[in-house]
Structure 1
Amino acid sequence: MSEIRGASTRRQVLARTGALGAGIAFSGALSELFTDTAAARNLGHTGYGPLVPDPHGLLDLPKGFRYRVLSREGDRLRSGEGPVPSNHDGMTALPGRQGRIHLVRNHENRQDAKLPVPTVEGLTYDPAGKGGCTALTLDSAGKVLSERVAIAGTAVNCAGGPTPWRTWLTCEETEDRAGTNGYTKDHGFIFEVDPSDPRRTGAVPLTAMGRFQHEAIAVDPHRGIVYETEDAFLKPFGLFYRFLPEKPLGGVGSLRAGGRLQAMRVPGVADLSSVRETGAAFDGIEWVDVPDPLAAETPIRLQDFGPKGITHAQKLEGCYWGGRCVYFVSSYARGAEGSAADHYGQIWRYDPARRRLTLVIVFGPDTDVQLPGESPDNICLAPGGGLMVCEDGNGAQHVYGVTRGGEVYALARGRQAIASAATAAGGTAEEPEWGEFAGVTFSPDGRTMYVNCYKPGTTFAVTGPWGR
C-alpha cells in the first residue's frame, strides 16, 4: 500500500464529464452512483460542510463531528503483550455479544518495522515475521475494553475483508519465500482471524487461496465465493481472482478445506487501464484456473494462462461486496511504468449473475492540494448510501465520500505530519507530507466511523450527524 511514489503533489477528484450513472444496491441503501463534474468541483457545498481545523492537530472534521483516539502506536497493549505495533492498515468492525464491537486491525509491517507485532505463543506463524493483526473490543458506549494480538509472525498485512461468519481475512502483500529477508517460512498468504477468540483460528495460512501480493478480499454472502485483489505496482501487474471454496459459507475454519483459485479474463482486454469511459461494460467474463496457486516456481501473474492470456491491472487494492455485485479498486495506472494508459483511480463492478464487468468510477487530476481524491485505496459503503474512500497519495490526505447523487466531499483531513526525508514517505517544512488513511469502516449500527492513520499509527472513532 505504501510503496515510494513520485514527487508529484497534485490532488485528484472525480472528473468525467457526462459520466454515466451506475445502479447498485446494498441493503436498500444505495440506489445510484455517479458522476457529475460540476458536483465534484463543488466540494465546499456538499457532504457535511467544510472541514474545521483541529486545535489538537490530529484530525480535521466538519462541524458537529467529533473523534476519539482509540489507540496509538507505541502505547502499551492492554493485554500486556507489548507496545501497539506500527503501520495501521486495513480494518473491520464486527458485532459481538451484548452490543460489543470487535475491531480487527492490520499492521503492514516489513522486516524494518519500528514496532513489530509482538509474538504470542499459539498465534504466531513465522517468528521472523513482523506483521499481523491486533484486535480491540469496545463496549456498547464505545469504550475500549481490551486490546491484544490476534495474529503475529505474518508479513506486510495490508488489507483483507470480513466474512459473513464474523471473522477477518487478513492478507499478506508480499511473495517473499523462506530464506528471504530473514523469513523462516513462505509468505504471501491469507489468514483467518477470529477477534472474539483468536486462538480459535490460530495462525494457519489458507494456502489454496493462493500465494501472491494480496491486498483485499470480499465474500459473496449468497454463494460463498471469495474475490481477491493483487496489489502489484510494477509490471507484470496484478490479477483479479475468485476462490471457489469446497465448503462455501461453512463458518469459522471452513476455508482450510481448500477450493479452486481462478483469475479473471476480460475478452479482448489485456490491461484494465485501457478502458477510459465510465459505464463501459463487458459481458461474458471468463474465469481461468490458476495453474499453480502456491507459485512454487513462478509468480501467478507470470504463469501460462493459455493462448488468450489473462487480464492485468496496476495497483488493484480495495474490494467490497454490495448488493449482488463485487466492487474493486485500481488505485492508479501509469504508462511510464508499463500500464496501457494513465489514470488516477478506477472502481470496477462485477456482477456474477450476468458475468458482466462495468467501470463505474474514474478519478481525474486537479491541482488544488486542498481537494481530496488521489489514489483511492480502502473503500467501504457509507450507512446513508454512497462510498467512503481512503486517500493514499502525496501531500494532504483525506477520507472522502461520494454521495448517491455523485457528489464528492471531504469528510476528514489528517493533520499528523510525517517528518522524515523529502520523499513520498515523508516531507520537509517546505513540502510537508501527512500520514495516509486506511481501514475505513463503520460500526454495525452505522453511528460510528472507524479509520486508521497509517503513520504514525492511530485508530480513530468518529461520531456525528451521519443522518444529516
Structure 2
Amino acid sequence: MSAAETPATEISATETPATRRQILARTGALGASIAFTGALSELFAGTATAAARGRSGYGPLVPDPDGLLDLPKGFRYRVLSREGDDLRSGEGKVPSNHDGMAAFGGRRGGVHLVRNHENRPTAPLGVPTVEGLTYDPAAKGGCTALALDRRGRVVDERVAIAGTAVNCAGGPTPWGTWLTCEETEDKAGTNGYTKDHGFIFEVDPVDPRRSGAVPLTAMGRFQHEAIAVDPWRGVVYETEDAFQRPFGLFYRFLPDRPEGGRGSLRAGGRLQAMRVPGVPDLSAVQEPGASFDRVEWADVPDPLAARTPVRHQDFGPKGITHAQKLEGCYWGGRCVYFVSSYARGAEGSAADHHGQVWRYDPARRRLTLVIVFGPGTDVQLPGESPDNICLAPSGGLMVCEDGGGLQHVYGVTRGGEVYAMARNAQNTGTPDKPEWGEFAGVAFSPDHDTMYVNCYTPGTTFAVTGPWHR
C-alpha cells in the first residue's frame, strides 16, 4: 500500500513529550482530567450533543511505517497535497506553510477545501501569481483550493488568491465562502511589498474568480487572526493577534449589507472595538463565570491605520480593552466565543494565564469569562495556549498543536478528557536534534466522516478516515 493511504497497525503505547504551546488544559498524563477552571460545556454551545461518544479517545497512536502521520488503530490517512508538488491546474507548485483551512460541501457528495498559506517574504515556495487573482505580486501568501469527489479523491487543485501576506487563519461565512486573514500590518515599501497589507479577503471555494483579490478595507487593517459571523445579525467578529504591547483588540464589523451573500462585505460598514468599562486588560479577570453586562463598542478612528496601528489609536478618555494573543474565534448557539492564548506579566499583561475562553452574548451585551487554563509549572505537559478549535463528530473538539517538540492533534471529550488523535512523524531536523512542524487547519467534511488537517512544514494536507463514531 502506498504512503498516500496507509492504515495504522497496533503497537504498545508510549509516552511522548508535548510542547509549551498546547491547546488543552494542564494534565498530569495523557488522557487524564483537564486541570482548568470553568464550564467545559460552554465550548460546545449550540452544537449537537454526543456526550457518551469518544470518552477515552481512540486508543494509542501507532507509528506510521512511512514516517508521515501516526494515528490510532483503525484509522488511515490519504495525502491530498504536498508542498512542492505540481498544482493540478498547471499554475505552478503547491506553496509552503499550510495553515488555516475550511471544508465546504460540493456537488454530488464532493468537498471543497480552501487552504491558507502563511507565507512571509522568506517562504520557500510562494503562492503562484495568477492574473485576476493576485493582489500584490510582491507578496508570497494566499490560498489554494482543492476539489474532492465523493470518494475523497483530488480532482482539482488551484490558486484561490495570491499576492497576500501571512495568511494565518480566518473563518467560513454562512453563505459558503472563506474569509482569509492577513496576520501582518506591513505597508507598501516594507519587505518589498507594493501595496499595504493587513486585510481580510473573501475567497469563493468553488470558483475563486468570482471573488477575485479585493481587500475588504472597511473591516480594518491590522494583525488579523480569525473571524466568526453572527448568522442572525450578519455581524462579523474579528480577533487581533498581538503579543507585544499594546496588545490586540476584539472587534465587530457592522456591514452595510447585513443580509450577507458573496461580495456583500465589499459594500462597506462600520468597524468597532470592544470596551469593557473598568477593564483595560482582559488578563486581569481570573475568575471563571465573571460577567460584564455593560459592554460597549467604540468606533475605530482610522480602520485603515494610515498613520497609527489601530491598537495604538486614541479611543477617547474611556480608553479601550486589550488582550494578549487573541486568536481563535467561533460562533456557537447565539453567542460568539473567542480565545486569548496566553498572557504574561513579564511581557506587559496585567496578569498571567495559560489561556482564556470568553463568550460574548450580543442580545444581552454581556461578556463572560468561560474557562481559564492553568496555570501550571511543567511546560512539557499538555496544557497551555488554547488556539483555533474544530468540533468533532464525537461531540467534542479537535485542536491543533503549535510549538516545539513533538506535534499532535489533540481531542478533548465532552467529559473533559484529553487524548492524542494524531502525531506528526515528519522529522525536519536530524536524528540527534529532531524537529516537527505544527498542525493547522483541522476541519471535518460535511458528513463528518473525514478529518482534514495540515502539517505546516513540510506543507502537507491529510484526509483522515476511520471509526469516528465508535
The answer to whether residue 429 in structure 2 is matched with residue 432 in structure 1 is no
How far apart are the structure 2 equivalents of 1:330 and 1:28? 22
Describe the shift of the 1:409–1:282 C-alpha distance in structure 2 as closer, same or farther (beyond 3 A).
farther
Distance 1:20 1:375, change over 3 A: closer
CA distance in 2: counterparts of 1:374 and 1:429, whole angstroms: 27
Determine if contact 2:199/2:217 at 8 Å carries over to the other structure.
yes
User: Residues 340, 431 of structure 1: CA spacing in aligned structure 2 closer, same or farther, 3 A cutoff?
Assistant: farther
Match of 1:83 in 2: 93
Are the counterparts in 2 of residues 375 and 392 from structure 1 also a CA contact under 8 Å? Answer: no
> What residue number does 1:453 align with?
455
Counterpart amino acid of 2:324?
A: Q
Aligned pairs, number: 441
Question: Does the Cα contact within 8 Å between 1:372 and 1:398 map onto a contact in 2?
Answer: no
Deviates more, 1:281-290 or 1:84-93: 281-290
2:211 to 197, 201, 208: 201
Cα displacement (A) at 1:25: 5.3
Judged with a 3 Å threshold, the aligned counterparts in structure 2 of structure 1 residues 168 and 19 are, in CA distance, closer, same or farther, namely: closer
Could you tell me how far apart the structure 1 residues matched to 2:432 and 2:343 are? Answer: 28
Q: Is the 8 A contact 1:398 1:410 kept in 2?
A: yes
Deviation readout 1:108-152 (Å, 9 max, x if unpaired): 001111000000000000111110000000011111010000000
CA distance in 2, matches of 1:203, 1:239: 26
Gaps spanning 5+ residues in structure 1: where? 1-7, 33-42, 420-427
1:234 to 218, 224, 244: 244
Structure 1 residues 173-188: aligned runs within 5 Å: 173-188=183-198
The aligned counterpart of 1:309 is 319
Aligned residue number for residue 261 of structure 1:
271
Asked if structure 2 preserves the Cα contact closer than 8 Å seen for 1:104 and 1:134, the reply is: yes
Letter in 2 for 1:188: G
Of 331-340 and 357-366, deviating more is 357-366
**Alpha carbons of structure 1 residues 177 and 282: separation in structure 2 relative to 1, 3 Å:** same
CA distance in 2, matches of 1:184, 1:317: 28
Residue 250 of structure 1 corresponds to which residue in structure 2? 260
Unmatched tracts of structure 2, length 5 or more: 1-17, 27-34
Aligned to 2:389: 379
Q: 2:467 aligned to 461, 465, 468, which one?
A: 465
Residues 201-229 of structure 1: CA distance to partner in whole angstroms, max 9, x if unpaired?
A: 10000000000000111111111110101
CA contact under 8 A between 2:39 and 2:371: conserved in structure 1? no
CA, structure 1 residues 458+115, in 2 after alignment: closer, same or farther (shift >3 Å)?
Answer: same
Moved more, 388-397 or 226-235: 388-397
Determine which of 91, 109, 121 is the counterpart of 2:119. Answer: 109
Residues 93 and 290 of structure 1, relative CA distance in 2, 3 Å threshold: same
Counterpart for residue 151 of structure 1: 161
My pick for the range that moved more, 155-164 or 330-339, is: 330-339
Conserved? CA contact 1:232–1:238, under 8 Å:
yes
Task: Report if aligned partners of 1:11, 1:366 keep a CA contact under 8 Å in 2.
Answer: no
Which of residues 332, 336, 343 is equivalent to 2:346? 336
8 A contact 2:184–2:197 mirrored in 1: yes
Partner of 1:55: 65
Q: Bigger CA drift: 45-54 or 405-414?
A: 45-54
How far residue 385 of structure 1 moved from its aligned partner, in angstroms, is 1.8
> Where do residues 268-307 of structure 1 align in structure 2 (5 Å cutoff)?
268-307=278-317
SS at match of 1:255: helix
Cα distance in 2 between the residues matched to 1:29 and 1:226: 23
SS at match of 1:74: coil
Report the TM-score when normalising by structure 1: 0.90
- Does the CA contact (< 8 Å) of 1:25 and 1:31 recur in 2? no
Measured in 1, the distance between the counterparts of 2:420 and 2:450 equals: 17
Does the aligned pair in 2 maintain the 1:173–1:231 contact within 8 Å? yes
Which residue matches 2:48?
Answer: 29
Residues 449-458 or 23-32, more deviating? 23-32
- Give the letter aligned to residue 161 of structure 1: G
Aligned-pair RMSD on alpha carbons?
2.0
The structure-2 alpha-carbon separation of the partners of 1:366 and 1:64, relative to structure 1 and needing over 3 Å to count, comes to farther
Contact 2:40–2:371, Cα closer than 8 Å, also in 1: no
SS of residue matched to 1:433: coil
Q: Sort the Cα spacing of 1:19 and 1:220 in 2 relative to 1 into closer, same or farther, 3 A.
A: closer
Amino acid of the residue matched to residue 468 of structure 2?
A: W
**TM superposition shift of 1:360:** 2.2
CA positional deviation for 1:11: 6.6
Letter in 2 for 1:383: P
Following superposition, the deviation at residue 300 of structure 1 comes to: 0.4
User: Is the 1:23–1:31 Cα contact (8 Å) retained in structure 2?
Assistant: no
Provide the C-alpha distance between the structure 2 equivalents of 1:211 and 1:30, rounded to a whole number of angstroms: 38
Q: For residues 105 and 327 of structure 1, do their structure 2 counterparts lie closer, same or farther at Cα, with a shift above 3 Å needed? A: same
Contact persistence 1:137–1:147 (CA under 8 A): yes
Q: Contact 1:113–1:130 (CA<8 Å) still a contact in 2?
A: yes
Q: What corresponds to 2:78 in structure 1?
A: 68
Counterpart contact for 2:37–2:288, Cα < 8 Å:
no
Q: Distance in 1 between matches of 2:298 and 2:422?
A: 41
